[in-house]
Chain A
Amino acid sequence: MSKQFLLDGQPVPFEDGQSILEAARKAGHYIPSLCWHKDFPAHGSCKLCIVKAAGRHVSACATPAKEGWEVESNTPEMNGERRGLLQMLFVEGNHFCPSCEKSGNCELQALGYEYEMLTSRFRHFYPDRPVDASHPDVLLDFNRCIFCELCVRASRDVDGKSVFALTGRGINKHLVVNAESGRLADTDFSKDDLAAHICPVGVILHKGPGFAVPIGERTYDTASIRSQKLKEEES
């Protein structure tokens, strides 16, 4: 018989070593995430997957499930904390959805809707980092970065290029590319890299035809991120 824990009162089976988040999604329960990706080890930076396990706050992506645990996730308390974390991410960067090509395909925006974020609540930081449009195929808007490091990890671990890295510290942390000039065009980045297709928000944007799919008909316009992510899990 397989082991199980209780997620909001529902039994969830798991295998040894599986995280709370993986087990939950496999069993058809959605725990939100931004920095987690099924093909990479847990990162644990965005903290949206925060749950209460045995009374303690933990990241569901980085915490191995334990037999008999009672885990709270879809509760007003946890969802309130998630909304707060989303508000933090929104005020930290420049996220003007109506003018962003990623609108409708953006996981941050989709989670804003999912967790009923109606205001940004806090003062905005308005970062002022120049856009890098040097590369022929791809444009970088550093002001939308949420520091999930998916591009860093994909480029390093899959593409074998290490095009991206983070520098600075605290609120001044920011993304840099692997060139003395600081320009993407001077790296060996290619639009076919995994790193070019992994950004959950609107930092790494492809040039060429924009708005090919009209806003309103995009991934998260037609169905919630909750149902989309669970559907991905099934397929």
Chain B
Amino acid sequence: MHTQPPTPCSALDGILQHHGHRPTELLQILINAQQLEGWLPAPTLTYLAQALRLPRARVEGVAGFYSFLYTRPAGRFRVLFSDNITDRMLGNAELMDALCRKLWIEPGKLSEDGLVSIDATSCTGLCDQGPAMLVNGRAIGQLNHRRINEIAELIRQQRPLAQWPSEYFHIDDNIRRRDALLNLDMKPGAALASAIARGRAGWLAEMQASNLRGRGGAGFATAVKWSSARNAPGEPKVIVCNADEGEPGTFKDRVLLNTYADLVFEGMTLAAWAVGASEGFLYLRGEYSHLLPQLEAVLARRRAEGLLGMRILHEQGFDFDIRIHLGAGAYVCGEESALIESLEGKRGTPRIRPPFPVTCGYLGRPTVVNNVETLAKTCLIALQGGEAFAATGTAQSAGTKLLSISGDCAAPGIYEYPFGVSIARVLEDCGASDTQAVQVGGASGICLAGYEFQRRIAYEDVPTAGAFMIFDGTRDLFEVARSFVHFFAHESCGFCTPCRVGTALLKGFMDKLADGHGAQADLADIDWLDRLLKNASHCGLGSAAPNPVIDTLQKFRPAYERRLVSLDFEPAFDLDAALAEARQLTARDDPGAHLQTHEEGTP
């Protein structure tokens, strides 16, 4: 047992004070409290529960939900390797292995001196400059063996993060193609002034004329969402910007928040003007916490300029302000009702819908949840009018779309295109060759094979939140699908039976195939699980979880079939694997310590 120093109550009191002892701030309080000791000891949870007058079990429930909160000792240096397929393609496994060997620890375990722990985490949104890692929450990209050697040394010397070379933490925007949004050079407040001049109803009419649809992937008409919230009873109304950009392969919101934060906050304020909202939240994924100081500075400047706060731009009755709420490693919080639960300081479990957030959202109030890109785009509409916006793109998909391009291409980064651009055109522009497949829309999206490259990015053809991962002829699409299946199993909130158990079973089947124990019967079971997940899951995470398997089984079936050892059945129990512990205990790994499980010889 570790003997722990007594919990510094005065420090906890300061954190509680800062958050006004509000139970809705529980997640924020836990994130801050963890910074004291690097993890959340049991007495800390008890103390916080008492101070907030919450049942301790509820606090423990929340602390146990988020990947970046630790209820068991973690290292003073907590290293998390980003484990998206694009990180894997850039060799993250080898780098993680190298760092573990240099520091003499095993992945997922704490070093005996409590100095360091190393593990993997879901995509951190640096796919254009991977492989990437988080150290105590700070993002580092462009890892290579030299950098890993240096990091090992810095950790061994126990050098505080503030003294690490600053270039480690430098993150590029990598904007490769600009169109209407990324070319917009707007004076802060210009869009707001224009919308205020139109009046609330006039501004909403402009939004309706624009045909703007949600850029988070689902494509719901933004004006419809806004007017539903505007007409719903209940005050004060809430605008939430969903910056929980967790979809593997997506990083456009990172760039918008880094360089175009004014557009995003102005968009939120434009939404507040239309809806009559007075409270705003930016839900920022924990992986992007490095953006927090600069975003707070932008908010402070906007307050000073009269663009936030009471009587915005001197308009009587237009009061609106924005707070930033940090996530802590939970992809499911990108689902809007789970995000709202998380905003309320709870576990991020998706709600039963209806009622929808527009009528019953944050604390039961009408709440608009919009994607970062959607909100930024509203500035264009306010400045140039709805009709001008609607005139670009395609019939059902007005405007432009930001694509986050990564994988096998010469120039990964952000590309802005008018909707309707073909996959082939995008591939050409980013310098991809010998492309075998493209995963559009991230893990939950669609895997397109060569014969589909004439299809177009648009809601009516290939809808996407913006992820665009490219796989050339050398890649194994089975491994791509397997990595996404692992991702969903890790990120399932565990609320409903099909997703909680189904994603874990699917992971087991994919691993069985990868280990060379697959049989035809497994493919039938995979098919069956895919269908049940699609049909029976409580939210979009579960119903999207089988997508990568469904697509690759259909389009790249040989990648699965060549792994099968039997045409009918192979047991899931692997006798040789079960002996691994015995081999470790006896320090033997010679042929005599292994069982020949396939004596007939495998193909």
A residues near B (Cβ < 8 Å) are 42, 44-48, 50, 57, 59, 62, 81, 84-85, 88-89, 91-92, 121-123, 125, 146-147, 156, 162-173, 176-180
Contact B535 A81 (CB under 8 A): yes
Contact B56 A171 (CB under 8 A): no
Pairs A–B under 8 Å by Cβ, sample size 28: A46-B497, A47-B497, A57-B535, A57-B536, A59-B352, A85-B498, A88-B501, A89-B497, A123-B572, A123-B573, A165-B57, A165-B60, A165-B61, A166-B61, A167-B60, A167-B63, A168-B64, A168-B494, A169-B493, A170-B490, A170-B500, A171-B494, A171-B501, A171-B503, A176-B57, A179-B56, A179-B57, A180-B56
Complex formed: what's the CA distance from A88 to B61 in Å?
23
Q: A81-B536, A92-B501 are in contact. Are A165 and B55 (CB under 8 A)?
A: yes
Complex formed: what's the CA distance from A135 to B114 in Å?
35
Q: How far is the CB of A15 from chain B (nearest CB, A)?
A: 17
| Tally of contact residues, B, Cβ under 8 A | 43
Residues of A within 8 A of B64 (CB): 167-169, 176
Contact B57 A84 (CB under 8 A): no
Complex formed: what's the CA distance from A57 to B539 in Å?
12
Minimal Cβ-Cβ distance residue in A for B351: A44
Residues of A within 8 A of B505 (CB): 88, 91, 122-123
Contact B528 A45 (CB under 8 A): no
Minimal Cβ-Cβ distance residue in A for B512: A123
Complex formed: what's the CA distance from A91 to B46 in Å?
34
Residue B377 at the chain A interface, CB threshold 8 Å: no
Complex formed: what's the CA distance from A21 to B532 in Å?
20
Contact B508 A172 (CB under 8 A): no
Residues of A within 8 A of B535 (CB): 50, 57, 81
- In residues 284-319 of chain B, which contact A (Cβ within 8 Å)? none
Complex formed: what's the CA distance from A59 to B353 in Å?
11
Contact A171 B500 (CB under 8 A): yes
Residues of B within 8 A of A169 (CB): 64-65, 67, 330, 492-494
What are the nearest 3 A-B pairs in CB distance?
A167-B64, A165-B57, A162-B55
Residues of A within 8 A of B57 (CB): 162-165, 167, 176-179
- In residues 485-531 of chain B, which contact A (Cβ within 8 Å)? 489-498, 500-505, 508, 525, 528
Which of A50, A123, A125 has the largest number of chain B CB atoms within 10 A? A123
Contact B42 A180 (CB under 8 A): yes
Residue B538 at the chain A interface, CB threshold 8 Å: yes
Complex formed: what's the CA distance from A92 to B64 in Å?
19
Residue B425 at the chain A interface, CB threshold 8 Å: no
Minimal Cβ-Cβ distance residue in A for B348: A169
Residues of B within 8 A of A44 (CB): 352, 496, 538
Minimal Cβ-Cβ distance residue in A for B492: A170
B residues near A (Cβ < 8 Å) are 42-43, 45-46, 55-58, 60-61, 63-65, 67, 330, 347, 352, 489-498, 500-505, 508, 525, 528, 532, 535-538, 572-573
Contact A170 B536 (CB under 8 A): no
Minimal Cβ-Cβ distance residue in A for B534: A57
Q: How far is the CB of B25 from chain A (nearest CB, A)?
A: 19
Residues of B within 8 A of A180 (CB): 42-43, 45-46, 56
Contact A123 B497 (CB under 8 A): no
Residues of A within 8 A of B58 (CB): 162, 165
Minimal Cβ-Cβ distance residue in A for B507: A171
Complex formed: what's the CA distance from A29 to B323 in Å?
50
Q: How far is the CB of A64 from chain B (nearest CB, A)?
A: 8
Complex formed: what's the CA distance from A31 to B207 in Å?
45
Complex formed: what's the CA distance from A146 to B496 in Å?
10
Contact A125 B504 (CB under 8 A): yes
Complex formed: what's the CA distance from A45 to B532 in Å?
14
Q: A42-B352, A44-B352 are in contact. Are A176 and B61 (CB under 8 A)?
A: yes
Q: A81-B536, A167-B60 are in contact. Are A88 and B493 (CB under 8 A)?
A: no
Residues of A within 8 A of B502 (CB): 88
Contact A47 B494 (CB under 8 A): no
Residues of B within 8 A of A57 (CB): 535-536
Contact B493 A62 (CB under 8 A): no
Q: How far is the CB of A189 from chain B (nearest CB, A)?
A: 11
Contact A85 B497 (CB under 8 A): yes
Minimal Cβ-Cβ distance residue in B for A84: B532
Q: How far is the CB of B18 from chain A (nearest CB, A)?
A: 24
Contact B492 A171 (CB under 8 A): yes
Residues of A within 8 A of B491 (CB): 170
Q: How far is the CB of A48 from chain B (nearest CB, A)?
A: 8
Interface residue from A85, A121, A156, A172 paired with B494 (Cβ < 8 Å)? A172
Given A84-B532, A170-B503, A179-B57, 9 extra CB contacts under 8 A: A45-B496, A45-B538, A47-B536, A92-B501, A162-B58, A169-B67, A171-B503, A173-B493, A176-B61
Q: How far is the CB of B509 from chain A (nearest CB, A)?
A: 9
Complex formed: what's the CA distance from A156 to B55 in Å?
9
Complex formed: what's the CA distance from A61 to B137 in Å?
41
Minimal Cβ-Cβ distance residue in A for B494: A173
Minimal Cβ-Cβ distance residue in B for A124: B572
Contact B536 A147 (CB under 8 A): no
Residues of A within 8 A of B46 (CB): 180
Complex formed: what's the CA distance from A47 to B533 in Å?
11
Contact B492 A84 (CB under 8 A): no
Q: How far is the CB of B281 from chain A (nearest CB, A)?
A: 23
Residues of B within 8 A of A50 (CB): 535-536
Q: How far is the CB of B278 from chain A (nearest CB, A)?
A: 29
Complex formed: what's the CA distance from A176 to B65 in Å?
13
Q: How far is the CB of B233 from chain A (nearest CB, A)?
A: 18
Residues of B within 8 A of A173 (CB): 493-494, 500
Q: How far is the CB of B326 from chain A (nearest CB, A)?
A: 18
Which of A165, A166, A169, A173 has the largest number of chain B CB atoms within 10 A? A169
Complex formed: what's the CA distance from A108 to B31 in Å?
38
Complex formed: what's the CA distance from A84 to B503 in Å?
14
Q: How far is the CB of A161 from chain B (nearest CB, A)?
A: 8
Q: How far is the CB of B327 from chain A (nearest CB, A)?
A: 13
Residues of B within 8 A of A147 (CB): 494-495, 497, 500
Residues of A within 8 A of B61 (CB): 165-167, 176
Minimal Cβ-Cβ distance residue in A for B529: A84
Complex formed: what's the CA distance from A50 to B536 in Å?
7
Minimal Cβ-Cβ distance residue in A for B55: A162
Residues of B within 8 A of A170 (CB): 489-494, 500, 503-504
Q: How far is the CB of A172 from chain B (nearest CB, A)?
A: 7
Complex formed: what's the CA distance from A180 to B42 in Å?
6
Contact B528 A47 (CB under 8 A): no
Minimal Cβ-Cβ distance residue in B for A52: B535
Complex formed: what's the CA distance from A46 to B534 in Å?
15
Minimal Cβ-Cβ distance residue in A for B571: A123
Complex formed: what's the CA distance from A177 to B56 in Å?
9
